[in-house]
């Protein structure tokens, strides 16, 4: 069983630079056809200061952590037992190419279902930009299978 005393634990804060080339690649990979996500001149013409960050790209940046497996390491969760449970985003401000985003992750909850056969680890992440503006809240649930 995962030790619930880790609820509230904060993982190391880290920052990631939003690079225009990665935004263009991501937009194309997800089939985004709006040129404001791939063409700087279209983004500027639409009133943006640079290419905007496409929806869900923040999850990619969250993986820029110096140790993307820190949560699994802390909780001693074997990779073969991990399932992706849920992911959602609450956006508060736009982010753009050239921004440096800071990610503050914490374990919000740990609980079990099915008599302990499934355990759930809830991670919440606050994202701010280089100006201290609250950009988004990320919510992710990791499911751990037992048995």
Number of domains observed in the structure of the chain: 1
- Residue spans of beta strands (DSSP E) within the chain: 14-17, 82-91, 100-113, 118-128, 134-145
Separation of first and last alpha carbons in the chain: 12
Contact criterion met (CB below 8 Å) for 125 and 138? yes
| pLDDT tens per residue across span 11-55 | 999 999 999 999 999 999 999 999 999 999 999 999 999 999 998
Q: What is the reported pLDDT for 62? A: 92
What is the rounded average pLDDT of the residues 110-131? 97
Q: What is the reported pLDDT for 55? A: 83
pLDDT(116) > 90: yes
Residue 89 confidence class, pLDDT cut points 50, 70, 90: very high
CATH number for the domain that contains residue 34: 3.10.129.10
In which domain, by residue range, is 56 found? 4-145
Percent of the chain residues past pLDDT 70, beyond the cut: 100
- List C-alpha distances in Å: 80 to 62, 76, 84, 143, 146: 21, 12, 12, 11, 10
Residue 147 confidence class, pLDDT cut points 50, 70, 90: confident
Backbone angles phi, psi at 129, to 5 degrees: -95, -175
Q: What is the reported pLDDT for 60? A: 92
- Mean model confidence pLDDT for the chain: 96
């Amino acid at each position: 069983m995962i030790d619930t005393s880790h609820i509230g634990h904060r993982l190391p804060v880290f920052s990631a630079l939003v690079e225009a080339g990665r935004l263009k690649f991501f937009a194309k990979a997800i089939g985004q056809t709006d040129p404001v996500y791939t063409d700087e001149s279209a983004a500027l013409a639409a009133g943006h200061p640079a290419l905007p960050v496409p929806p869900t790209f923040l999850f990619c940046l969250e993986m820029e952590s110096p140790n993307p497996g820190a949560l699994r390491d802390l909780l001693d969760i074997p990779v073969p037992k991990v399932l992706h449970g849920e992911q959602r985003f609450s956006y508060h401000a736009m982010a753009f190419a050239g921004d440096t985003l800071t990610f503050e992750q914490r374990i919000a909850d740990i609980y079990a279902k099915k008599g302990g056969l499934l355990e759930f680890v809830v991670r919440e992440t606050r994202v701010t930009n280089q100006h201290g503006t609250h950009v988004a809240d990320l919510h992710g649930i990791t499911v751990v299978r037992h048995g």
